[in-house]
């Protein structure tokens, strides 16, 4: 009986579920016939049984590439392997994936800068503090007004408002009969409502002083809380919600050089003034002394068109990093891109035209989000009907495959150098007579 080959999914232990290695390098291998990559089960390979077919220890494992139309491929792992997830310092939304722990006197430090703490807090906590600050002040001053009335004797039965005209009693505050009356008078005084029912008299100097103090305190706390709400609503961070970064970065050739590219865009008509773009590579580095720097940051030289890192940001721009001898990615080839561990953080800074506030938008790309051999589709077109440029944001993340060498930029530069030397030698031999 002839041996049968079985098709099994190949595990990709280097990437999470959302990674698609075929997309990184294109899909030219889908039509290849199955390739035997296994051996006997005793050599560390496993055979998988299909629908009752017998499996022998010598049954080989076959890898048959699957078309994307068949859906998401399953992830099978060899024994002893574990799934390795990408570590991000900056999330795709721009939030820093950082948390603090074991900070001495952390709560005290936050309370010392209460304004920034409340601005950075979530809305439910800000509104809760906003409400309790007013309610607490009303109750606090209501207690003071009740104590003033109680110590002066205004709450005695014969000194209540119904008997004040009979006995000729002048209270500190007219029409105070209980703590509820004091609470209402506290609200009226702090917010200068003035219904005209309860008023302060000249009988008690302490009542006049408390009335002035509460009026000043009410203005201060109202200005403070309104300032917090206004600062929270107008934070430059909200402007970044309409600043877009492409879902993926790409690597392809531009002007004969391998280049890393990503796209940035602005959805609003109010532009970012003085926009500038930066990029940093975060990866592990070992020093000459053997010290391991796990979050070593390297600045990448980026620019758009021929304008450097300063952008005239009126439409989406493709930001380019040329992978030359000065680039930390100079020795990285396509296979290294799949196996390496790094993160590229991109930072867009500028001034909001409508408010004049500075803003900063961030995003990042890990190696599984960089497409080798792809190029961005154009999104800016001239509309003759409207006599103006039109931006099609539905194609903002779309890319197309292009022919790109899979070698590193260093190897590509050496290849071009050998070609140039060969051509120059050939020209010299033609020009020089035998």
> Is the pLDDT confidence value at 338 over 60?
yes
pLDDT tens digits, one per residue of 27-60: 444 444 444 434 444 444 443 344 444 444 444 4
Alpha-carbon gap, residue 87 to 72, rounded angstroms: 23
pLDDT tens digits, one per residue of 227-268: 888 888 877 777 788 899 999 999 999 988 899 999 999 888
The answer to whether residues 138 and 187 touch, using CB atoms and an 8 Å cutoff, is: yes
**358-363, long-range: CB < 8 A, 24+ apart:** 358/236, 359/236, 359/237, 359/239, 359/240, 359/243, 359/272, 360/236, 360/240, 361/94, 361/239, 361/240, 361/243, 361/245, 362/90, 362/94, 362/96, 362/240, 363/90, 363/92, 363/94, 363/245
Mean pLDDT of 328-350: 90
DSSP secondary structure string, 50-72? -TT----TTPPEEE----GGG-S
Mean pLDDT is lowest, of 80-84, 175-179, 323-327, 335-339, for 80-84
> Is the pLDDT confidence value at 182 over 70?
yes
Q: Which domains does the chain have, with CATH numbers?
A: 123-234 (1.10.287.70), 239-418 (2.60.40.1400)
> What local confidence, expressed as pLDDT, does residue 319 receive?
93
Sign of the four-CA dihedral 146, 147, 149, 153: positive
């Amino acid at each position: 009986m002839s041996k049968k080959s079985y098709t099994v999914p190949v595990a990709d232990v280097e990437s999470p579920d959302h990674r698609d290695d075929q997309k990184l390098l294109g899909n030219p291998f889908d039509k290849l016939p199955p390739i035997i990559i296994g051996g006997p089960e005793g050599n560390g390979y496993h055979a998988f049984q299909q629908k009752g077919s017998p499996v022998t220890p010598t049954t080989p494992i076959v890898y048959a590439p699957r078309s994307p139309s068949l859906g998401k491929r399953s992830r099978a792992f060899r024994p002893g392997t574990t799934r390795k997830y990408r570590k991000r310092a900056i999330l795709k939304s721009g939030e820093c994936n950082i948390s603090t722990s074991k900070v001495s006197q952390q709560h005290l430090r936050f309370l010392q800068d209460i304004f920034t703490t409340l601005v950075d807090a979530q809305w439910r906590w800000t509104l809760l503090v906003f409400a309790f600050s007013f309610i607490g002040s009303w109750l606090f001053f209501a207690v003071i007004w009740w104590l003033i009335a109680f110590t002066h004797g205004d709450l005695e039965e014969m000194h209540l408002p119904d008997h004040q005209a009979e006995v000729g009693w002048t209270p500190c505050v007219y029409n105070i009969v209980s703590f509820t009356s004091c609470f209402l008078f506290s609200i009226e005084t702090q917010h200068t409502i003035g219904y005209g029912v309860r008023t302060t008299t000249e009988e008690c100097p302490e009542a006049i002083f408390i009335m002035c103090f509460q009026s000043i305190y009410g203005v201060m706390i109202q200005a403070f809380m309104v300032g917090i709400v206004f600062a929270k609503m107008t934070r430059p961070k909200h402007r970044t919600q309409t600043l877009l970064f492409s879902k993926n970065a790409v690597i392809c050739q531009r002007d004969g050089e391998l280049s890393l590219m990503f796209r940035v865009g602005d959805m609003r008509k109010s532009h970012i003034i003085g926009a500038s773009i930066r990029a940093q590579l975060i990866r592990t580095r070992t020093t000459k002394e053997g010290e391991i720097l796990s979050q070593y940051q390297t600045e990448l030289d980026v620019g758009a068109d021929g304008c450097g890192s300063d952008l005239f940001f009126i439409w989406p721009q493709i930001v380019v990093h040329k992978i030359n001898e000065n680039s930390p990615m100079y020795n990285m080839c396509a296979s290294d891109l799949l196996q390496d561990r790094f993160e590229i953080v991109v930072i867009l800074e500028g001034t909001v035209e409508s408010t004049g506030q500075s803003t900063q938008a961030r995003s990042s790309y890990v190696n599984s989000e960089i497409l080798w051999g792809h190029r961005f589709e154009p999104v800016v077109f001239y509309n003759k009907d409207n006599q103006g440029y039109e931006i099609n944001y539905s194609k903002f993340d779309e890319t197309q495959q292009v022919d790109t060498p899979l070698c590193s930029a260093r190897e590509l530069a050496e290849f071009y150098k050998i070609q140039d030397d060969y051509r120059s030698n050939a020209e010299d031999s033609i020009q020089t007579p035998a």
